[in-house]
Amino acid sequence: MLKFADDTNVFCVIDSYVDGCGLQADTINIEKWVEVWQTEFNVAKCKVVGPHYGKDNIGFKYDMDGHQLREVIIERDLGIHMSSNLKVSCQCMEAYSKASQILGIKQDN
């Protein structure tokens, strides 16, 4: 688990159904922690970068607080685009777009 300010990232290598169950157990532990410390965890903002990283990932479905976590192909985290294919093209395109806008260069979309 990684925490930065009010962001929390939970991750692990999932090579089997048992590994997926282990990560699901971690989400349950987070739910218990939230309850004990009487705080909130916005489940609507929780996502799984999917179809998960790696071509051999089993695509385990995760839920939290009774809601299945939605899968996204790309997620921006601390200004970095994390895509399920681990390519940097989206990050490069955003940098190009910002630079072009600053320089006043018209872009063709």
Model pLDDT, residue 37: 92
pLDDT in tens, 54-100: 666 677 889 998 999 988 888 887 777 777 777 777 778 888 888 88
> Which of helix, strand or coil describes residue 93?
helix
Does the residue 108 lie in any domain? no
**What range does the domain containing 55 cover?**
2-103
Question: What's the CA gap between 74 and 16, in Å, rounded?
Answer: 23
Does the residue 80 lie in any domain? yes
Over residues 35-63, the mean pLDDT reads 81
Give which of 3, 103, 102, 21 is closest to 58, Cα–Cα: 21
18 versus 13: which is more confidently predicted? 18
Tally the domains of the chain. Answer: 1
With tokens 């739910």, the residue in question is: 31
Fill in the amino acid letter for 99. Answer: A
- Helix, strand, coil tally for the chain in percent (to 5): 35, 20, 45
